[in-house]
Amino acid sequence: MALSNGELLAKAESALVTGDITYGFLSPEQAKRFIRQMFDVARTTQICRTVAMSGDRRNIDKIGIGSRIARIVDENEDVSDYTKKPSFGRVELDTVKVALPWELSEETLEDTIENRNFEETIAAMMTTQFGLDLEDLYWNGDTSLVGDPEESGYVEGNELLYGLDGWLKQLDSGSHIVDLEGAALDKGDLFSALKALAANGYAHDSRFAPLLDLALSRQDGEGRWLCGSVSRTWPIEQRSRPSKWVTLDALRVLKTAG
């Protein structure tokens, strides 16, 4: 009779044996497979740039434009004073070490019906959970959380999250903010953002596709988009009625994205 996932984990946990620190590390090939499987689980990671690092720190050079550089000129106009160049910079990456120590005893492998396949089953389950844990850290990490059980405010289970500041914490404390002046975010705002991204060369970026899919899902049966909240730019439009301006922006984005 096959064991359930819960029974497999319970059996492994009851038979875990802590090995000496001098052995038990993954081989390079095992480590690569572990990372691939972990990224397959963490959906957010699939739309982010990931960098394999062999040390605790690494500097990555970056190059970018960041703004519109073309201009209209007259025939024979001297544009020598209008030369542009890309901006250069550097991003410094610092690692935060996260561990998943586990080991199966020989007795566990011998007693289970799967024998050596049992180790692969547990490894796959551990890898899946590790990927989910890291995705939780990416979003919800907060160094201001209390990580000491002796301190007031400590929440059991949050130990992983105080290792670094995740995306939500960084967005809240140091992001570029668009002030809608209390108005609700509507489809017009979404298409304005997509249009700006497309104009700056991100229309074919893999991270652009989910936003475009979301926008397309709002299209009505006649190929139009409705006005969400009353537009601040075009106050003459009516809420929940077809909007020529939102539709125009949408078509422009679709044309750029190909």
Place of tokens 């404390």: 173
Q: Determine the average pLDDT of the residues in 15-21.
A: 45
**H/E/C letters for each residue in 164-217?**
CCCHHHHHHHHCCCCCCCCCCCCHHHHHHHHHHHHHCCCCCCCCHHHHHHHHHC
| Contact indicator for 258, 204 with CB cutoff of 8 Å | yes
User: In sequence order, what E strands does the chain have?
Assistant: 57-64, 87-94
If you count them, how many residues does the chain have?
258
Average pLDDT of the residues in 76-99: 83
Q: What mean pLDDT value characterizes the chain? A: 75
pLDDT for 21 equals: 39
pLDDT band for position 127 (50/70/90)?
A: confident
Q: Euclidean distance between the first and final Cα of the chain, in Å?
A: 53
Residue of 167, 163, 176, 174 whose CA lies nearest to 140? 167
Mind listing the pLDDT tens digit for each residue in 216-241?
888 888 888 777 654 455 556 676 77
For the ranges 15-24, 131-140, 249-258, the one whose mean pLDDT is highest = 131-140
pLDDT at 5: 62
Q: Which residues contact 200 (CB under 8 A, 6 or more apart)?
A: 65, 66
- What's the token pair of residue 241? 């009625």
What pLDDT digit, counting tens, does each position of 72-83 carry? Answer: 888 888 877 777
- The residue extents of the domains of the chain are 5-65+78-140, 187-257
Contact 184, 227 (CB under 8 A): no
pLDDT digits 0-9 by tens, 145-170: 776 777 766 777 778 888 889 888 88
pLDDT tens digit string along 166-213?
Answer: 888 887 777 655 565 665 555 566 777 787 788 777 788 777 888 888
pLDDT at 22: 45
Contact 95, 70 (CB under 8 A): no
Residue 16: per-residue pLDDT: 46
